[in-house]
Amino acid sequence: MDMRLLLLSHASTAAQRAGRFPADDPLDARGLAEVKTHTARLRAALSGDAAAFVSPATCARDTVSALGLASTVDAALADIDYGNWQGRRLADLAIETPQELAAWTHDPDATPPGGESFSQLVKRVGQWLDALGTPQGAGCGTHSGKTSAASTHAHTVIAVTHAPLLRAAIIHATGASPTVFARIEITPLSMVELRHSQRGWTWRPASL
């Protein structure tokens, strides 16, 4: 199925700016202002019939709401699971568990206590992308346990999610090794464009 997929990282949160791992934080006034500043640019990248999916996280849903998009919550777009590090400051963990934190930032197979490794995330995102690329895949998102059928034949899809998932999507589309994840920088409200065709997924500069 030919498809244009725009992956958007959510606006910044106060926790991000304070150097904390996420804990389902909402957007604050600064984050909402960021969305307002870029709304015209982001909306210009979308076609009128674009289907939209969003992570269950509050910050992602706040971003979608501020953009004025009708979206379907999809659990597969949830942020990487930070386990016991959720809500903790990186500076504190660097003192308390420096080896574990260093391993997690460089080794895609390293896992936070009770959490998810980046390699596991690549597998999860890859499964979502492969399902999305099927003829029925554009309606695979779920909201309150129900499948969205309205977007089944959409040619443009947008997914508002988290920086780690954009990294994972790039790696899956290009067939790169997950070991390069630390070299991919994704800032708040970054957009990644993937295209699906008979060749599978390809990565290209976002058309803004």
Residues 156-181: tens digit of each pLDDT? 899 999 999 999 999 999 999 999 99
pLDDT at position 208 is 52
Contacts from 118-126 at CB under 8 Å and sequence distance 24+?
Answer: 118/80, 118/164, 118/167, 118/168, 118/178, 118/181, 119/178, 121/80, 121/164, 121/165, 121/168, 122/168, 122/171, 122/172, 122/178, 124/76, 124/168, 125/76, 125/165, 125/168, 125/169, 125/172, 126/168, 126/172
The model's pLDDT over 62-78, given as tens digits with 9 standing for 90+, comes to 999 999 999 999 999 99
Q: What is the pTM of this model?
A: 0.89
Q: What is the pLDDT of residue 188?
A: 96
pLDDT digits (tens, 9 = 90+) for 125-147: 999 999 998 866 655 554 433 33
Q: Which amino acid is residue 123, in one-letter code? A: K
pLDDT of residue 138: 53
Domains detected in the chain = 3-14+33-79+119-204 (3.40.50.1240)
> In this predicted model, what pLDDT tens digit does every residue of 82-120 receive, in sequence order?
999 999 999 999 999 999 999 999 999 999 999 999 999
Dihedral class, residue 30 (left if φ above 0, else alpha if ψ from -120 to 50, else beta)? alpha
Integer Cα distance of 74 and 34 in angstroms: 24
